């Protein structure tokens, strides 16, 4: 290992600073030459273990064989025609797969887009068109994207919303069932939070004015918050009773990441609309809204679309990624990765009182760092541990409203020995950072 970043990356960083807007931040400034199978290689010849998957995108790896083959074949046939002008089979095939794989066996329709934010924004458009209502209910700690409407839906000001207002109206934020921080404890969190949300909707918004309740079935950027048990089913039920569209943002959780095809399945919830992106296409930009046929088809002809949405190369990649997930049973792999990570991180928690909570499902796992004996967030320690991991050659990401969550998102294809090695590096990073905090013994 050279220093991270090494000399060649440092040179590229100088060029980057002169050409790329500084607002687009970089967590770990090593410039990549190749990646796959849980390893990222940089221009200085370093190999890093990848516990980030490009923010939960490359579950199948960064260059999965079926993705590469599909893309190469398609890119040589044609790169684009625009599905709205002259269609092609790949788009239809992806929509068929989405109908097959997303929760529920009802009749479904899909529309394809380019990014998670665009999918979420279109889900809101569909819900409004279908219900003839305007209000959108979202939650504390939610992240839904960086476009103007999705910024209104996103909870956290810094860095996402700061200076970018005004934001779209008719967005109502409700408490989230966050078990670790629920005042009466994790066991009561789900039902109590659901009751609080339902009462607030009834009193402050009016159920008959709500177009959709939009929620991440496990919150991503907000801190890998697995909602208290019963919260999602109670919300889905309330939506059903009141003609409200229940929309799941599965952008981060979808495509096997949590040990199920979609995270709603863990509690048997069938959403009316599902927004997907990230893991859908093995690293190519593609996103989708999939939903009940009668809801999706309530939008007028021509009401949804976009130049690049469902690009044929991205669709070929998606078909390759889905095939990879099925052939290699990566949904089961995610569950195994989760068991290994949770066991190791719970051991870590016993040694480090700063680890307040260990949580997650499948290959979407996190630790929340606090001042020992309290639930006061410790973002400084979180940054220090992340930095120590980076210097040791492990890509880890942070998240959370309070910036105190270290999250682990290895590719679902990561081999066991790399997973174990990565977790050893996490262990060592914690040891180094806690050691640094102690007063040196006098000689």
Question: Closest distance between ligand PLZ and the C-beta of residue 397, in Å?
Answer: 9
Q: Residues touching ligand PLZ: how many (CB under 6 A)? A: 16
Which residue, 160 or 172, has its beta carbon nearer to ligand PLZ? 160
String marking each residue 232-261 x if it binds ligand PLZ according to CB under 6 A: -----------------x-xx---------
Our finding on whether 401 is near ligand PLZ (CB under 6 A) is no
| Cβ-based neighbours of 46, under 8 Å, separated by 6 or more | 1, 2, 4, 6, 30, 393
Q: DSSP for 187-254, please give it.
A: HHHHHHHHHHHHHHIIIII-GGGEEEEEE-SS-STTT---PPTTHHHHHHHHHHHHT-EEEEE-TTTT
In whole angstroms, give the CA distance from residue 287 to residue 291.
13
Q: Minimal CB distance to ligand PLZ: which residue?
A: 116
Question: Closest distance between ligand PLZ and the C-beta of residue 208, in Å?
Answer: 27
Q: Which residue from 8, 125, 146, 387 is in contact with ligand PLZ, where contact means CB under 6 A? A: 146
Sheet of 171-174: strands edge to edge? 108-113, 287-292, 273-276, 245-249, 210-215, 135-139, 171-174
Our finding on whether 117 is near ligand PLZ (CB under 6 A) is yes
Our finding on whether 145 is near ligand PLZ (CB under 6 A) is yes
Our finding on whether 140 is near ligand PLZ (CB under 6 A) is no
In whole angstroms, give the CA distance from residue 316 to residue 286.
10
Question: Closest distance between ligand PLZ and the C-beta of residue 74, in Å?
Answer: 21
Question: Closest distance between ligand PLZ and the C-beta of residue 69, in Å?
Answer: 25
Residues numbered 23-62 forming contacts with ligand PLZ, rule: CB under 6 A: 55
Q: Is the dihedral of CA 199, 204, 209, 212 positive or negative?
A: negative
Question: Closest distance between ligand PLZ and the C-beta of residue 249, in Å?
Answer: 5
- Do β-strands 39-42 and 32-36 pair in parallel, antiparallel, or remain unpaired? antiparallel
Question: Closest distance between ligand PLZ and the C-beta of residue 277, in Å?
Answer: 5
Q: Which residue from 91, 143, 402, 430 is in contact with ligand PLZ, where contact means CB under 6 A? A: 143
In whole angstroms, give the CA distance from residue 92 to residue 310.
9
Q: Per the structure block, which two tokens stand in for 110?
A: 């899909």
Which residue, 216 or 272, has its beta carbon nearer to ligand PLZ? 216
Which residue, 295 or 397, has its beta carbon nearer to ligand PLZ? 397
CB 129 within 8 Å of CB 303: yes
Q: Which residue from 66, 109, 133, 144 is in contact with ligand PLZ, where contact means CB under 6 A? A: 144
Question: Closest distance between ligand PLZ and the C-beta of residue 97, in Å?
Answer: 19
Which residue, 193 or 251, has its beta carbon nearer to ligand PLZ? 251
Q: Per the structure block, which two tokens stand in for 124?
A: 């809101």
CA distances, 128 to each of 121, 243, 326 (Å): 11, 12, 35
In whole angstroms, give the CA distance from residue 21 to residue 244.
41
Which residue, 249 or 357, has its beta carbon nearer to ligand PLZ? 249
Q: How buried is residue 60: exposed, middle or buried, by Cβ count under 10 Å (0-12/13-18/19+)?
A: buried
Near ligand PLZ by CB under 6 A, which window of 35-43, 141-149, 203-211, 354-362?
141-149
The Cβ-side half-sphere exposure at 71, using a 13 Å CA radius, reads 16
In whole angstroms, give the CA distance from residue 82 to residue 120.
21
Our finding on whether 410 is near ligand PLZ (CB under 6 A) is no
Residues numbered 212-231 forming contacts with ligand PLZ, rule: CB under 6 A: 216, 220-221
Question: Closest distance between ligand PLZ and the C-beta of residue 173, in Å?
Answer: 16
Question: Closest distance between ligand PLZ and the C-beta of residue 399, in Å?
Answer: 9
Sheet of 47-50: strands edge to edge? 32-36, 39-42, 47-50, 394-395
Question: Closest distance between ligand PLZ and the C-beta of residue 153, in Å?
Answer: 9
SS3 137: strand
Interface residues toward ligand PLZ, by CB under 6 A: 55, 115-117, 120, 143-146, 216, 220-221, 249, 251-252, 277
């Amino acid at each position: 290992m050279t220093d991270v970043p090494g000399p060649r990356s440092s040179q590229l960083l100088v060029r980057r600073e002169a050409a790329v807007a500084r607002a687009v931040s970089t967590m770990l400034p090593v410039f990549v030459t190749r990646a796959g199978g849980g390893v990222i290689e940089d221009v200085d010849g370093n190999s890093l273990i990848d516990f980030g998957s490009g923010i939960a995108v490359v579950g199948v790896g960064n260059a999965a064989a079926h993705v590469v083959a599909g893309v190469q074949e398609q890119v040589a046939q044609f790169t684009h025609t625009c599905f709205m002008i002259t269609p092609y089979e790949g788009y239809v095939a992806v929509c068929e797969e989405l109908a097959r794989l997303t929760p529920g066996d009802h009749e479904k329709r899909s529309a394809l887009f380019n990014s998670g934010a665009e999918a979420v924004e279109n889900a809101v458009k569909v819900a409004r068109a279908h219900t003839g209502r305007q209000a959108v209910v979202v939650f504390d700690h939610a992240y839904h994207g960086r476009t103007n409407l999705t910024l209104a839906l996103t909870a956290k000001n810094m860095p996402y919303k700061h200076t970018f207002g005004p934001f779209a109206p008719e967005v109502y934020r409700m408490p989230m069932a966050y078990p670790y921080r629920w005042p009466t404890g994790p066991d009561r969190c789900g039902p109590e939070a659901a009751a609080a949300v339902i009462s607030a909707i009834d009193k402050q918004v009016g159920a008959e004015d709500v177009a959709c309740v939009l929620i991440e079935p496990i919150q991503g950027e907000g801190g890998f918050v697995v909602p208290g048990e019963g919260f999602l089913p109670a919300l889905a039920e309330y939506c059903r009773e009141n003609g409200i569209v229940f929309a799941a943002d599965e952008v981060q959780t979808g495509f096997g990441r949590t040990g199920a095809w979609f995270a709603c399945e863990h509690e048997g919830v069938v959403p009316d609309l599902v927004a997907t992106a990230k893991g859908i296409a093995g690293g190519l930009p593609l996103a989708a809204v999939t939903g009940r046929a009668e809801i999706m088809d309530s939008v007028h002809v021509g009401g949804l679309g976009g130049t690049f949405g469902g690009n044929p190369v991205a669709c070929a990649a998606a078909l390759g990624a889905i095939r990879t997930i099925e052939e290699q049973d990566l949904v089961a792999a995610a569950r195994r990765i989760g068991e290994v990570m949770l066991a190791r991180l719970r051991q870590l928690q016993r040694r480090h009182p700063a680890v307040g909570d260990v949580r997650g499902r499948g290959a979407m796992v996190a630790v929340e760092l606090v001042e020992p004996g309290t639930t006061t967030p410790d973002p400084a320690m979180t940054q220090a541990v992340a930095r120590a991991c980076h210097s040791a050659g492990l890509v880890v990401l942070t998240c959370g409203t309070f910036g105190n969550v270290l999250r682990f998102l290895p590719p679902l294809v990561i081999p066991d020995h790399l997973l174990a090695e990565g977790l050893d590096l996490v262990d060592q990073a914690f040891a180094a950072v806690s050691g640094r905090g102690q007063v040196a013994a006098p000689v």
